[in-house]
Amino acid sequence: MILAERKPLAEIIELIGDARKVLVLGCGTCVTVCFAGGSKEVGILASQLRMAASKAGKELEVVEETIERQCEDEFFEGVKEKISDADVVLSLACGVGVQTIAELFPEVVPLPGVNTTSFGRPVEPGVFVEYCAGCGDCLLALTAGICPIARCSKSLLNGPCGGSENGRCEVDPENIPCAWHMIYERLEKLGRLDWLDKISEAKDWSSSASGGVRIDIREDLREIKLES
């Protein structure tokens, strides 16, 4: 299972910026189970955004919706119009969900409302492509919904390396596209190339969250279990 925790309200408000219509989109599976992005959390965040906008004298329409899974294309059928009608889509799913929105709706600005923190172990046989590394400090708002940590072979934060050529990665040109080439093309299409002006600081990979077996502990949920 994928685990996540909601971003601070102040950060979310900053990401939304001057948008006038926001769709807060929840996911009914992993983030619902870990109390980060289900329908209940969508409702809470939507109310907080409305109150914050009202207090600031800002006009903001907040639409609430939750689909069963944001990692699979078919579940977006019922919300296509709401997504296309919004200035930004604030996804409370994991980084995979944010990037699914980016691929399915290239004209829409996707924003992460949570930080993906760790992953469970899949038990069914199959092929999985890692679109999110669960770094715990989501950058997708700056990179048009494409994760440079997971999708760049070198996890570069501020642009492509010298080995990128014709939009392909030098590690395996036949099978790996250059993540930063993809990011540039999407930002250009969205008219947001100015986002590339922001320099992302190097991540601290020395913590236990980025090495060995990752353990995610929610003390508030442990207390609930003990009380029951």
Judged against a pLDDT cut of 90, whether residue 15 lies above it is answered with yes
- Alpha helix (H) ranges present in the chain? 9-16, 30-33, 39-55, 80-85, 95-104, 148-151, 179-190, 219-227
**Owning domain of residue 173:** 2-116+130-201
Evaluate whether residue 207 is within a structural domain.
no
Give the side-chain half-sphere CA count within 13 A for 111. 19
Can you tell me the mean pLDDT for 128-151? Answer: 86
What's the mean per-residue pLDDT of the chain? Answer: 88
Evaluate whether residue 222 is within a structural domain.
no
β-bridge mates for residue 129, sequence order: none
Evaluate whether residue 72 is within a structural domain.
yes
Question: What CA–CA distance (Å, rounded) separates 33 from 2?
Answer: 9
Can you tell me the mean pLDDT for 105-114? Answer: 95
CATH number at residue 191: 3.40.50
Question: What CA–CA distance (Å, rounded) separates 19 from 13?
Answer: 10
Judged against a pLDDT cut of 50, whether residue 122 lies above it is answered with no
Nearest to 112 by CA among 87, 129, 137, 85: 137
Domain count, the chain: 1
Question: What is the model's pLDDT at position 208?
Answer: 47
- Which is more confidently placed, 202 or 207? 202
32-58 in b/e form (b: 16+ CB < 10 A) is bebbbbbbebbeebbeebeebbeeeee
Evaluate whether residue 95 is within a structural domain.
yes
Question: Per-residue pLDDT tens for 29-84?
Answer: 999 988 999 999 999 999 999 999 999 999 999 999 999 999 999 999 999 999 99
- Say which range, 3-12, 60-69, 81-90, 130-139, has the weakest mean pLDDT: 130-139
